[in-house]
């Protein structure tokens, strides 16, 4: 019998995070690959329920995106991991090479094809974020689907055979037409929509004029750190990156004069 203790359920396409009380036995039918780790000393597991399943007493179904600013960082991370693992398990029931049904392994998070031996591990898609500096200005852009007036750092997915640094240089050149140098790692953030890992960098402008990429960048510009436009939510890595780098530059210049 699995004992549950949960005031809120994080849900996206019927993924659920279950917090199992540490001093209760874990259901023997639970697969080790469903284990997410520990939170507050409690074991956490992921499972999937029907789309029309009723929520637990005192809880409600909520999309994980809507909980981004509600859950604390640790609980959101666990919920995001659950979402990614459920999505991976659901989408790898059959072998992508021969079509046979795959099987989970008891002591490893992998689904293996018994016919051809192909192993399918949970996928992570790395993406870079680049904040470019020119003097006391930051290069910010906005995509076609951004909220009105909001700008952010540039971002893009890493291509096969490409390093993170090469990706930063390529993405900035493709999206706005400028060259960069002096790349410095800032931080990373898992982003479970559906399975990304955002890796943020700061860099310096090295040449070129702005040429926003049609269809990708609606607008881009150089913004004085003392007069920044509307920015992403404070809980995003993009906002953390912008706030930290802008604060550093403001410290160098002292005032906005």
Q: What is the DSSP string of the chain?
A: ---B--S---BSTTEEEEEEPTTSPPPTTS-GGGEEEEETTEEEEEEE--TTPPPPTT----BTGGGTTTS-HHHHHHHHHHHHHHHHHHHTSB-TTT-PBPEEETTEEEEE-TTT--EEPPP-EEEEEEEEEETTEEEEEE-TTSPTTB-B-EEEEPPTT--HHHHHHHHHHHHH--EEEEEEEEEEEEETTTTEEEEEEEEEEEE----PPTTT-SEEEEEETTS--B---TTSHHHHHHHHHHHHHHHHH-S--
pLDDT digits (tens, 9 = 90+) for 180-209: 999 999 999 998 888 899 999 999 999 999
CATH number, span 125-253: 3.90.79.10
Q: How confident is the model at residue 89 (pLDDT cuts 50, 70, 90)?
A: very high
Q: Which pLDDT does position 76 carry in this prediction?
A: 84
Whether pLDDT at 176 is above 80: yes
Better-predicted residue by pLDDT, 156 or 16: 156
Predicted TM-score (pTM) of this structure? 0.79
Give me the residue spans of the domains in the chain. Answer: 1-84, 92-123, 125-253
Mean pLDDT lowest among 94-98, 102-106, 133-137, 203-207: 102-106
């Amino acid at each position: 019998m699995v004992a549950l203790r949960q005031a809120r359920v994080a849900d996206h396409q019927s993924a659920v995070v279950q917090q199992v009380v540490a001093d209760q036995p874990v259901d023997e039918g639970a697969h080790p690959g469903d284990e997410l780790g520990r939170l507050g000393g409690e074991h956490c597991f992921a499972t999937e329920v029907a789309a029309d399943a009723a929520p637990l007493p005192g809880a409600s179904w909520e999309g994980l995106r809507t909980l981004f600013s509600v859950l604390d960082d640790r609980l959101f991370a666990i919920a995001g991991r659950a979402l990614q693992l459920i999505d991976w398990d659901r989408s790898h029931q059959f072998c992508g090479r021969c079509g046979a049904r795959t099987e989970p392994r008891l002591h490893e998070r992998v689904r293996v094809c018994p016919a051809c031996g192909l192993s399918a591990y949970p996928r992570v898609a790395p993406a870079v974020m680049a904040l470019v500096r020119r003097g006391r200005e930051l290069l910010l852009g906005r995509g076609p689907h951004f909220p009105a007036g909001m700008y952010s750092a540039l971002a893009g997915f890493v291509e096969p055979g490409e390093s993170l640094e090469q990706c930063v240089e390529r993405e900035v050149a493709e999206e706005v037409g400028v060259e960069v140098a002096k790349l410095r790692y800032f931080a990373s953030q898992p982003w479970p929509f559906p399975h990304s890992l955002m890796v943020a960098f700061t860099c310096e402008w090295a040449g070129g004029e702005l040429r926003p990429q049609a269809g990708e960048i609606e607008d881009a510009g150089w913004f004085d750190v003392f007069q920044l436009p509307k920015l992403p939510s404070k809980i995003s890595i993009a906002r953390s990156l912008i706030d930290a780098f802008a604060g550093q530059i403001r410290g160098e210049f002292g005032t906005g004069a």
